């Protein structure tokens, strides 16, 4: 009886974690008659995994490092910044910035991070992200890295990956070097590996897709199918024409996504009979992007100019979802150089929400915006709208 219990126990263990043949008693095979793998596959058709999460002590630091008189920085000249720990549990560091030993026209800004000697006996894991700040637009120069400072290692130095070249900084002074000062946003997370709770949580999962994941996969497949349909002229029943460039499409799809196209195809218009719609108010790139959204519900590679063109096209052809997508992009990417254009577009299309976002931006960046060349041109060419904008901003302060 005890022998049979041991056999069943080993069989169950194999079905759960698939132990090797050598670890299983011979009698297991006589019970299962060599069909263990088949039994396991029937019971657990999908691979199982177990995950466990351990919490560790972590200290985060975020700060701005301003390097003054940057253009006067010479080769091998170093700028230092001590980073003091907020606690005695994680080490302090010394950050060093200098020009990499490369040709003068192609020098990278190099940053090194050195752990304080008092903590060389402690192993430390560090994650860092450094962003070069810009004055007129959103930062785009960023790099991040992970480093492990080994215990007992003399003078452990973390050489951070290159972020930006000196030539780019000097070539775009207005963006990067206002008052000849380079500003770096530094974000670090440090841990000595000490655990707060050995096991905080565990979870078990199977590779089998749940209903929500299956639905998502199905939608993604549907999107790809519709995209392929948009580029296949064989089954199209309408052609959109810009100049001499033809865009095959389908009346049913266009009507479902655009109230203007729907009205056009429901009436007895010349376009309905000829099967050709000539568009004189769009360029080919904007139409291509609008059709991609109509067929797939997604837009790619947006910038402010493209978003503004798509916004106008979506409003004219009543593609409301696309209009909202472009409006959200414009609101999230407002800058001193484009806020006047966004307010003008919003006014043209009577979009009070987008106009209010532009006014809010100017409220927050008033001095910088009102001194810009873009605002001076806006005031000269769109005097009434500029006055209305200032009035709206003034009313915000009064409320």
| pLDDT tens digits for range 43-95 | 455 455 555 566 667 778 888 888 888 888 887 788 888 887 766 666 778 88
Q: What's the domain range around 27? A: 1-198
Judge if 12 and 31 occupy the same domain: yes
Global pTM? 0.48
How far lies 321's CA from each of 101, 244, 251, 297, 299, in Å? 52, 29, 18, 8, 11
Report the pLDDT value the prediction gives residue 376, as an integer from 0 to 100: 92
Report the pLDDT value the prediction gives residue 33, as an integer from 0 to 100: 47
Judge if 143 and 240 occupy the same domain: no
312 band by pLDDT with thresholds 50, 70 and 90: very high
DSSP 3-state helix, strand, coil percentages of the chain (rounded to 5)?
Answer: 50, 25, 30
- If you average pLDDT over each of 38-47, 48-57, 326-335, 389-398, which comes out highest? 326-335
d(CA 322, CA 279): 19
Query: Which residue shows structure tokens 């380079």?
Result: 182
Judge if 271 and 372 occupy the same domain: no
Where is the domain boundary, 166, 198, 230?
Answer: 198
Judge if 193 and 287 occupy the same domain: no
10 phi/psi in degrees, rounded to 5: -65, -35
Average pLDDT, the chain: 77
| Residue among 169, 157, 156 at smallest CA distance from 99 | 169
**Beta carbons of 158 and 114 less than 8 angstroms apart:** yes
Report the pLDDT value the prediction gives residue 205, as an integer from 0 to 100: 46
HSE-CB at 90 with a 13 A cutoff on CA atoms is 22
**CA angle (55, 212, 227) in 5-degree steps:** 115
Show Cβ contacts of residue 4 under 8 Å, excluding neighbours closer than 6 positions: none
Q: Tens digits of per-residue pLDDT, 270-306?
A: 666 678 889 988 999 999 999 999 988 888 888 999 9
Where is the domain boundary, 162, 182, 198?
Answer: 198
């Amino acid at each position: 009886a005890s022998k049979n219990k041991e056999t069943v126990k080993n069989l169950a263990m194999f079905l759960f974690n698939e132990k090797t043949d050598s670890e299983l008693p011979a009698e297991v095979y006589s019970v299962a008659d060599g069909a263990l793998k088949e039994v396991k596959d029937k019971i657990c058709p999908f691979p199982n995994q177990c995950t466990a999460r351990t919490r560790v002590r972590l200290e985060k630091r975020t700060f701005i490092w301003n390097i003054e008189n940057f253009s006067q920085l010479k080769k091998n000249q170093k700028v230092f910044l001590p980073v003091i720990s907020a606690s005695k549990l994680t080490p302090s560091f010394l950050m060093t910035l200098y020009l990499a030993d490369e040709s003068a026209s192609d020098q990278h800004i190099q940053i090194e991070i050195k752990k304080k000697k008092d903590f060389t006996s402690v192993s430390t894991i560090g994650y860092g992200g450094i962003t070069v700040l810009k004055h007129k637009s959103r930062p785009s120069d960023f790099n991040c890295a992970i480093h492990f400072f080994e215990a007992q290692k003399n003078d452990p130095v973390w050489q951070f990956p290159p972020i930006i070249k000196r030539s780019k900084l000097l070539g775009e002074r207005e963006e990067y070097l206002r008052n000849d000062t380079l500003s770096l946003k530094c974000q670090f997370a440090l841990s000595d590996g000490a655990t707060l709770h050995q096991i905080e949580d565990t979870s078990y999962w199977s590779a089998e897709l749940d209903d929500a994941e299956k639905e998502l996969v199905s939608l993604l497949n549907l999107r790809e199918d519709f995209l392929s349909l948009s580029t296949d002229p064989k089954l199209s029943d309408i052609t959109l024409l810009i100049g001499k460039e033809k865009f095959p499409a389908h009346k049913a799809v266009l009507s479902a996504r655009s109230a203007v196209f729907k009205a056009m195809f429901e009436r007895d218009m010349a376009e309905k009979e000829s099967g050709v719609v000539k568009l004189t108010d769009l360029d080919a790139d904007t139409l291509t992007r609008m059709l991609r959204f109509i067929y797939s519900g997604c837009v790619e590679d947006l910038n402010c100019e493209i978003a503004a063109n798509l916004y106008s096209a979506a409003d004219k052809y009543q593609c409301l979802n696309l209009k909202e997508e472009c409006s959200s992009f414009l609101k999230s990417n407002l800058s001193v150089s484009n806020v006047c254009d966004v307010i003008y577009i919003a006014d043209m299309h009577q979009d009070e929400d987008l106009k209010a976002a532009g006014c809010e931006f100017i409220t927050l960046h008033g001095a910088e915006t009102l001194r810009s060349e873009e605002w001076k041109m806006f005031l000269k060419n769109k005097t009434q709208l500029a006055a209305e904008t200032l009035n709206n901003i003034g009313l915000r302060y009064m409320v």
